Amino acid sequence: MNGGSVVFRNARIVLADEIVEGSVVVADGRIAAIDAGPARSGEDLGGDYLIAGLIELHTDHLENHYRPRPGVFWDPLAALHAHDAQIAGSGITTVFDAVRIGSDTDLPDMLAHAQKLVGAVREGRDAGWLRAEHFIHLRCELPSHDVIAHFEALADHPATRLASLMDHTPGQRQFRSIADYKRFYARQLGHSAAEGDAYIAARLAEHERYAGANRRAIVARAHELGLALASHDDATLAHVEEAAADRIAIAEFPTTLEAASAAHDAGLAILMGAPNVVRGKSHSGNISATDLVAAGLLDILSSDYVPFALLQAAFVLPGRVEGLTLPRALATVTGNPARAAGLDDRGEIAPGKRADLVRVAADAPLPVVRGVWREGRRVS
């Protein structure tokens, strides 16, 4: 993708550590120059912010378009098209589409669904009709009996760049409280207490039988393929020590301050949900992302289930955390996720970087996306 040559002038340019008023010159899809002060030619941004394109590492949004209602499965290419339009319209120029693998009672033939979604992303990438650049993030449910087979079927492809190690067994990680687990998964548990207890017992048995061996196999294979790895819902020091031993790069959604602190000390990039920031709390009652920002323990934000939340949270945070600047807040959705995913060619406005750019008006109650460019070419 190549956008030729273009100049953006009269912009508030958000750099890695400061905001400057001036112009940005783009040539051959890359940032050629950043000039402070007025420019006589180029597209006039009217004093709006010009920021680096947002980078999303974990969104379930494609799956939500594919399965908009229980038992309803949409055409995967149509689901991707709708997802891509909303992603780009939210200022996201690089997205890792999370695809769950590992069958369960809710979806016993998970591989067939995952293959449809991954196939759609590959087709859209190859055909060049996607607005954002899409990669695949495999969400590996470790207690599932067939997760390794699913991983092997989908991991060895250029579009697959990230895998997360998940374990939603009741009584640990996201749901250390069995009561909280029962409330959150009420529909799956059945109508009676006996049905709920039987469901939980089955999940615990699967964890004991499969989770440890599956984790070891996926970690080893991911390192062979050069995939970035993320841990998911770490809650204890032991969880973080295991992640560090497995050479994991990203700690997704740590549920406690203890786990977040340990992950930070171990050098893992800590990822939390932008909806957590916008709402001021976790939807499942775990630690607040804003509190982690204030403690210096958050590196990356993810839109998770609301694409626009990524931009919204970045602009909300400086007003909530004393001393936090807009460039530092935006780094959680640009430069930091780029580095964590090994994408060194993007994530900031700097000479030589990709011209993935977003024009944002911040005078309204919410930041408003007025234009999006990927490698210098307008996509939204």
Tokens of 127: 């055909």
Backbone angles phi and psi of 231, in degrees to 5: -90, 160
C-alpha 225/C-alpha 268 separation (Å) is 20
pLDDT higher than 90, residue 39: no
What is the SS3 assignment for 56? strand
Q: What is the pLDDT of residues 215-252, one digit of tens each?
A: 999 999 999 999 999 999 999 999 999 999 999 999 99
pLDDT higher than 60, residue 253: yes
C-alpha 318/C-alpha 324 separation (Å) is 5
Tell me the whole-structure pTM to 2 decimals.
Answer: 0.92
Per-domain boundaries in the chain: 1-52+348-380, 54-345
Specify the pLDDT at position 180.
63
Mean pLDDT value across residues 310-326 = 96
Backbone angles phi and psi of 57, in degrees to 5: -95, -20
pLDDT higher than 80, residue 197: no
pLDDT greater at residue 255 or residue 52 = 52
Specify the pLDDT at position 241.
97
C-alpha 199/C-alpha 81 separation (Å) is 36
Specify the pLDDT at position 286.
73
Task: Name the percent of the chain lying above pLDDT 70.
Answer: 92
Mean pLDDT value across residues 336-356 = 97
Are 161 and 153 a contacting pair, CB within 8 Å? no
- Sequence-distant (≥ 6) Cβ neighbours of residue 248 within 8 angstroms: 165, 219, 229, 230, 231, 268
- Sequence-distant (≥ 6) Cβ neighbours of residue 13 within 8 angstroms: 19, 20, 21, 22, 24, 34, 49, 50, 349
pLDDT higher than 60, residue 275: yes
Of 58, 96, 15, which Cα lies nearest the Cα of 309? 58
Q: What is the pLDDT of residues 158-193, one digit of tens each?
A: 999 999 999 987 767 566 666 666 666 565 555 667
Of 70, 233, 218, which Cα lies nearest the Cα of 150? 218
pLDDT higher than 60, residue 283: no
CATH number, span 54-345: 3.20.20.140
CATH architecture label of 1-52+348-380: Roll (2.30)
Specify the pLDDT at position 207.
86
Per-residue pLDDT band at 339 (split at 50, 70, 90): very high
Are 180 and 186 a contacting pair, CB within 8 Å? no
Mean pLDDT value across residues 314-340 = 97
Report the Cα 213 to chain-centroid distance in Å.
26
Q: Where are the beta strands (DSSP E) in the chain?
A: 5-14, 19-27, 30-36, 43-44, 49-52, 54-59, 92-101, 133-141, 160-166, 228-232, 250-252, 269-273, 300-302, 357-361, 368-374, 377-378
pLDDT greater at residue 188 or residue 258 = 258
Of 272, 160, 141, which Cα lies nearest the Cα of 214? 141
Per-residue pLDDT band at 363 (split at 50, 70, 90): confident
Specify the pLDDT at position 194.
76
pLDDT greater at residue 113 or residue 177 = 113
Crossing angle of helices 237-245 and 257-265, rounded to 10°: 30
pLDDT greater at residue 191 or residue 305 = 305
Are 36 and 55 a contacting pair, CB within 8 Å? no
Mean pLDDT value across residues 32-39 = 91
Strand pairing report for 250-252 and 357-361:
unpaired
C-alpha 365/C-alpha 36 separation (Å) is 28
pLDDT greater at residue 42 or residue 201 = 42
Please give the single-letter amino acid code of residue 45: L
| Mean pLDDT lowest among 69-83, 137-151, 171-185, 254-268 | 171-185
The burial class, CB within 10 Å (0-12 / 13-18 / 19+), for 368 is: middle
Specify the pLDDT at position 189.
55
Which DSSP category does 172 fall into?
Answer: B
Compute the mean pLDDT over every residue in the chain, rounded to the nearest whole number.
Answer: 92
Specify the pLDDT at position 280.
85
| Mean pLDDT lowest among 182-191, 197-206, 309-318, 371-380 | 182-191
Task: Identify the bridge partners of residue 225 per DSSP, sorted by sequence position.
Answer: none
Specify the pLDDT at position 198.
77
- Sequence-distant (≥ 6) Cβ neighbours of residue 249 within 8 angstroms: 228, 229, 230, 268, 269, 340
For every residue of 313-362, DSSP letters joined together read HHHHHHHHSTT--HHHHHHTTTHHHHHHTT-TT-SS--TTSB--EEEEE-
